[in-house]
Amino acid sequence: MARIIDISRLISEETAVFPGDTPFSRNWVMAIADGCSCNTSTITLSAHTGAHADAPSHYVDGAATIDEVPLDQYVGRCRVIHARHPDAIRLDDIEGMDLAREERLLFRTPRAPADDTWQDDFTYLSVEVAERAAREGLRLIGIDTPSVDPSDSKTLDAHKALFSGGVSLLESIDLSAVDEGVYELIALPLRIARGDSSPVRAVLRSLD
């Protein structure tokens, strides 16, 4: 029987976000303890909280928003790779791979940040890997850190290189308990009108 592996991150008031971004907060509008018929809350959060899918409009003005992205990018065969370099995912991490055949790659990095702790020096995706992914027809790249670009990047070169080839993005997934290998990915973004991103409930299904 296929196993379901949750690769989302727990979202709470302690969830770390990019400095200057909106942290998660929750307000209880109704509570059974107060005599109401049900518990109802309002939540506020950045669209880039926890595991999330970046829309092209996040980094290219006028590009597709999250409600316009093709959903089949986020569902299907993927390969999990344990990257070796603490600073960046490099070409030798994908040496010998036919990226068009792989379709989707998810990278577990050597120093993924904790859910409740921000760190500036997270592992990013080298521009060389992004360019090769775009050139060879990869459909999606996922990473277990907050961004495919360095935290201080102002030009978002890896994002834009992936955009040039139509490669979709998942960021801040949790691969800490996932072995290398081939899985089925399901990570659908919410249908948010004009959204620059969306949190996802990302799971892997074993192909055993």
Whether 52 is a known active-site residue: answer no
DSSP structure string for 9-68: ---STT----TTSPPPEEEEEE-GGGT-SS-EEEEE--TTSSSEEE-GGGTSTTS--GGG
**CA-CA distance, 174 to 115, in Å (whole number)?**
9
Tokens of 135: 């050139």
Catalytic residue among 48, 52, 58, 159: 58
Under 8 Å between Cβ of 196 and 62: no
Which of 124, 31, 59 has its CA nearest to residue 86? Answer: 124
Active site positions, annotated: 58
